[in-house]
Structure 1
């Protein structure tokens, strides 16, 4: 199926079809949906070279992928990327992924932005006072941030989960259940989301006249093996925490393995709450003891980031659209009253 044949099938001009596929606002929503559905049904894909010549756009979204060990085999990023790629493909956009060592990431962004190979850039793994935001703002290219950067100028487009609010609510639940020794198995230190989650825990504890003990805090990559090792350290203390917050269900999986080896039961001996990114292979309600979570879908976030970035590319949006999603607190059997 080529453009001429699709034009004859729909009874629309080739120009109208091209504009509909590329998101031009002068095509009404009903016609655009009709064209998109027909393109899907017939397997039509626009010629990217022709589109580039006609629109000056490549039909590609670029991102720099850190190659540090903490990010390798990261199922969380993979789930987000599946949503991003799915939505990009729906709009006939391609993904250009550029691996780079974190020490060379800014150079990689400079090359990507100046290469002419991408129409926009997606930015991930946000850090506190992240210099990459100012760098991207200095380029004449649309970009979209997943997450935020504490301490950076707020004038940039982002989609983020209210990590501080989520872990504040989760900690308040534990405090209301009588827990006053609360631990935190957090993600890698220096990333913005881990900073905000720790801040949420500390805020709730402060309201009860308590503090987050240094010996009850761990920062690490979010794997089940590290969750197990960190939980072992916390439970081996003379005065171990009676409740643990985990930055991911993968960490919680390892934490539960530690509890099982010690003959302890989640929700009875030690309460657990984890953040649920809605990973398809780790469903909290299917854990041996259903897991209490703060929940926000990474896949849905990937879809939304792609929509926002493609809108910025297609409609030349200049205002920094910002979205902050509230995570849902889902209470299950892994949380219970503090042991007497």
Structure 2
């Protein structure tokens, strides 16, 4: 445990150096020789000296804190999606002894004002924006304020700022292709509100997957709901109440997919046997669903780590447009995807007759 009685003055006296020299050595100033810097750091370790971070931050004029803008949802901080992202973000900051501030603000006029107050307060050095809208005013605000930021996701036009994203459109093409290879011809889509860019991209991927496999695009098979488990349950219930319900569903989040599984179980249907379900996120809790959830997985902890590293690089002077990274999701097969049910063939005949 560090000895709180060992302050900068005590350390300097022990070394026979001035307080200024010791301070500059600990902060890696170039005018202090490497030998002196090493000698000071060894003595600091031996005596258990720990710097006063607040005093250090005041001296260098940098808050050494970044803010994560949490998605505006009830209980968002407890969601596995957010928790895993924050874990990776914290890991990146810890290596620099920086702090993480978590705030909740969406793109409404009132929250834009609160973001502006936060930035102008001087409490943060940068900001992470999550789940952006198609045209997100937070991006333009941050650019006008000149505060470093990075976006987890993208807006419709994402050329002039830093972002990290996973290709949601490609992921849903992959999911639909997989289900089509299993014999499914009637595939439902459970989506989120389309003001979010990620929701639009995943819907676009679903539609592109249908076209690629020669499947009919049926508006009844597209259900948009709030992206939580209750929304997934409601959307799946509407799909299963159709005259010709789907034999498979793709869901824009794992949470919505869990809700879809619940809707199937209440109808005494076995997910993966009677109706296939594929989620998106690859969250750990999906392994423990009933049955374990098949999903398009994206690495949340890795995303948080990359967001942190990118933002710190921009704060250090990097060009934001040089930090734009697109990753791919991959299919994790568990037990909620399987071949089309044997009774679905008769349904297909009925659908064709209905369309004619």
TM-score by length of 1: 0.82
Query: Given the superposition, is the C-alpha separation of residues 193 and 311 from structure 1 closer, same or farther in structure 2, using an over 3 Å criterion?
Result: same
8 Å contact kept, 2:282–2:332: no
8 Å contact kept, 1:106–1:132: yes
Query: Given the superposition, is the C-alpha separation of residues 153 and 101 from structure 1 closer, same or farther in structure 2, using an over 3 Å criterion?
Result: closer
Point out 4+ residue stretches in structure 1 off by more than 6 angstroms: 5-9, 41-44
* CA–CA separation in structure 1 for the residues paired with 2:204 and 2:155: 14
* Residue 318 of structure 1 pairs with residue 319 of structure 2: yes
* CA–CA separation in structure 2 for the residues paired with 1:125 and 1:258: 27
2:255 to 250, 258, 264: 250
* CA–CA separation in structure 2 for the residues paired with 1:99 and 1:257: 30
Match of 1:295 in 2: 297
SS in 2 for 1:283: helix
RMSD: 3.3
SS in 1 for 2:88: helix
Q: Deviations over 1:186-228 (max 9, x none)?
A: 2333111111111111111112333442222222233223322
8 Å contact kept, 1:98–1:108: no
8 Å contact kept, 2:224–2:235: no
* Residue 17 of structure 1 pairs with residue 26 of structure 2: yes
* Residue 198 of structure 1 pairs with residue 207 of structure 2: no
* CA–CA separation in structure 2 for the residues paired with 1:326 and 1:128: 20
1:234 to 239, 244, 251: 239
Match of 1:270 in 2: 275
Q: Give, in angstroms, the shift of residue 256 of structure 1.
A: 1.4
TM-score by length of 2: 0.79
8 Å contact kept, 1:60–1:93: yes
- 1:45-194 → structure 2 map (5 Å cutoff): 46-65=51-70, 67=72, 69=74, 74-100=79-105, 102-103=107-108, 104-150=110-156, 152-194=157-199
Query: Given the superposition, is the C-alpha separation of residues 317 and 253 from structure 1 closer, same or farther in structure 2, using an over 3 Å criterion?
Result: same
Structure 2 stretches lacking a partner, 5+ long: 16-20, 346-356
Query: Given the superposition, is the C-alpha separation of residues 194 and 101 from structure 1 closer, same or farther in structure 2, using an over 3 Å criterion?
Result: closer
